[in-house]
Amino acid sequence: MKRFVAIATSIFLFFSFVHLAQISQADSQNFEQDNCHSRLLTKGEGCFVYQFKDRKTFIPVYYYLPNKLNSNTQIVFAISGEKRNARDYRNDWRNIYADSQPSLILLAPQFQQNDFPGYVSYNLGNMFTKSLKRLKSQDQWAFSDIENIFDLVNKSEKLKLSTYYIYGHSAGAQFVHRMVIFMPHARIRKAVAAEAGSYTIPDKYMEYPCGLRKQTGNQLPPVELKTVFSTPMTIILGTKDNKPLSDEHDTYSCDAKQGSNRLNRGEYFYTQVKRIASSRKENLSWTIKQVTAAHIVAHTNPPIEDPMLVSCAALEFFPNLKDINCN
């Protein structure tokens, strides 16, 4: 019997190893097919690899580079949802504007599950270890990777940009609004967080990640609310996204308290932020915008965000865009 169990265990482990190897190989092949093995950007759509200086991990970055760069060229980051399907988000942004208006470099970094596992590494920006007890050095935060990728592209394309735009949807919206809060000196020109399922409210009486209070482990870094509130950011909410969220969407203890659906949670978040800014007599450069949109497009694989969200985000960044519908 023991021999049978040993043999069965060996077979299970063998096939598990083969399965994992196949997944890893498939990911590698996809990156190779997308030319995700070079830092060299070429005109049009492509993918390059951002390699960490002191780590073996890397981030594939799907991009679009226009044929001509000029003094008006801007960089836009698109941060994907929980499926981490960065290429689709690059494509969504690519599809909403003509080559001539405006001159944009689109960057969609793919924070892979192997290197950034779970919500702590992605939704929370990789600030803490999985237990949320040990605060990592800032150069290990996923937020810092955005800054580093910006520097890399800025230098490689011989641009002299001092700021960038950043858009996040769903889990990406969680990433973006927390980056604004915890990296207030990041070079963000304007941020858009669309359809987040959970928020960190800059309230020192609420427990992290719901707020800024932390009772166990390392404390949060100091948050400069005056600087945070001065960073332009728009919270975009879809009016069609008013159905109750299932329990699997409630990762944090306070999620249900923020509202039963994404629309309610976004409204609650903005109301609380306005209250805090008013009590501190701080100017608030954050706005909220409700649009006729759902969370995702039904029956797509993988799921992608409602195109209306992207259109409305684009108009937040570039109000003079033509033939863009946002309502």
- For the chain, the straight-line distance linking the first and the last C-alpha, in angstroms and rounded, comes to 68
Number of residues assigned to the chain: 327
pLDDT in tens, 295-315: 887 667 777 789 999 999 999
Go through the domains of the chain in sequence order and give each one's CATH number: 35-317 (3.40.50.1820)
pLDDT in tens, 107-117: 999 999 999 99
pLDDT of residue 17: 33
Task: Give the integer Cα–Cα distance in Å for 150 and 145.
Answer: 8
Tokens of 285: 């450069």
pLDDT of residue 327: 85
Place of tokens 């604004």: 180
What is the reported pTM?
0.88
Number of H helices, E strands in the chain: 9, 8
104-109 and 58-65 strand pairing:
antiparallel
